[in-house]
Structure 1
């Protein structure tokens, strides 16, 4: 079986080499970049299965890199930083990151997060209905393609996964607890904003309001409801 390719973007050489060795030992093909601008070039050329992206980088920081990658790259991005600032975590999700991990890096946690992201990215869609249609909105799980009124909408992999999870349960409330467990593989602690940020990005891309006429409705204290009526 072909090894999955992970690009690690980290300018601390000792940490980068440690992650390289650890992930290689666990069956991945790993490449390294120590600058943000170089990381963008490598992702364009190599299309890795996942990017581990530090925030503090020379030339372009991790936020700039994440924003640039989301213009053409839909596979998972795992942000990594020494900062404990909640604002950095929220900004990472707003820019399209799939997950966020703090330094000092715990090896088993890093590996678990990577495997969870890859597992969700490579979900066997043949076990599910491959396409959901709501009037002019078409959501296809095989190609991870979303179109509205015949126009393709560029959603990142994590945004698509949230939309698909809600659309599959159209007409029913899906709790944040279930969404965080399903899409991030962790227990919801009552403070995780990642799902809220992704829903906000989806609404903007699908020209959906957040008010009374919203098709993706916020049900306060419970979660989100995807309207089953045609778009």
Structure 2
């Protein structure tokens, strides 16, 4: 089996080299880029399976690099953010990052998070290919395809997983802890807003219902619900 190809983009060359060496021992094909300009270019020009972007880099930072990547590619992206810097985390998720890891992080944590993102972003071999249908939404989990009102719907791997869970439970509230465990592959942190930001992105992509309400309702203190159309 071909090892997953990972691009580490960080101006801390010593750190990224150490991380690349660790990931190689863990079965990844890891390469490095020293800045956001080179990282965005390589992410778009070469067939990487996932990209790791450090937010704080001179010149083109990780946020701008992510913006450039997302303008042309759905490749999964993991952001490395300063611990406690919620602004960068939220902005990265809004721009289409699949998840983030606060720095400093252990190589083991990084490898585990990469595996989780790759697992939920990959086509599911042998899985029934749906479709999962609710209203104008159609999802094919086996091939990771989605349509909305019969038009292709572009989703990140995380957005696809989140929308699939909500669609399968249309008309029922799914709590945020379950969404985090299933769609992000990790427990919901006390102040973690990742699910909220991904839901906001999905709402933007789906647009409003005919009456102006959202297809994904917030149930305060509980979670989210995909609206089931009346029969």
- Does TM-score exceed 0.5, indicating one fold? yes
Kept in 1: contact 2:127–2:142 (CA 8 A):
no
Q: Deviations along 1:46-105, whole A, 9 cap, x unmatched?
A: 221111110122331101111221223223211113353121211121111111112222
1:5 counterpart residue number: 5
Q: In the TM superposition, what are the counterparts of 1:151-166 in structure 2 within 5 Å? A: 151-166=151-166
The 4+ residue runs of structure 1 with deviation greater than 4 A are none
Structure 2 vs 1, CA of residues 96 and 55 (structure 1 numbering), >3 Å: closer, same or farther?
A: same
Task: Work out the CA distance in 2 between the residues paired with 1:97 and 1:88.
Answer: 11
1:40 counterpart residue number: 40
Kept in 2: contact 1:96–1:158 (CA 8 A):
no
TM-score by length of 2: 0.90
Kept in 2: contact 1:56–1:81 (CA 8 A):
yes
Alignment of 1:170 with 2:165, yes or no, is no
Provide the alpha-carbon RMSD of the alignment. 2.1
Kept in 1: contact 2:16–2:32 (CA 8 A):
yes
Kept in 2: contact 1:208–1:216 (CA 8 A):
no
Instruction: Name the SS for the 2:52 alignment partner.
Output: strand
2:24 counterpart residue number: 24
Deviation at 1:6, TM superposition (A): 0.4
Deviation at 1:175, TM superposition (A): 0.6
2:180 counterpart residue number: 180
Indicate the larger mover: 130-139 or 10-19: 130-139
Instruction: Name the SS for the 1:139 alignment partner.
Output: strand
2:149 counterpart residue number: 149
Indicate the larger mover: 126-135 or 162-171: 126-135
TM-score by length of 1: 0.90
Q: Which runs of 5+ in 1 are unaligned?
A: none
Deviation at 1:170, TM superposition (A): 1.4
1:85 counterpart residue number: 85
Structure 2 vs 1, CA of residues 124 and 146 (structure 1 numbering), >3 Å: closer, same or farther?
A: closer
Alignment of 1:197 with 2:200, yes or no, is no
Task: Work out the CA distance in 1 between the residues paired with 2:127 and 2:149.
Answer: 27
Instruction: Name the SS for the 2:142 alignment partner.
Output: coil
1:130 counterpart residue number: 130
Task: Work out the CA distance in 2 between the residues paired with 1:84 and 1:21.
Answer: 27
Deviation at 1:208, TM superposition (A): 2.5
Kept in 2: contact 1:70–1:156 (CA 8 A):
no
Task: Work out the CA distance in 2 between the residues paired with 1:225 and 1:150.
Answer: 22
Deviation at 1:161, TM superposition (A): 1.5
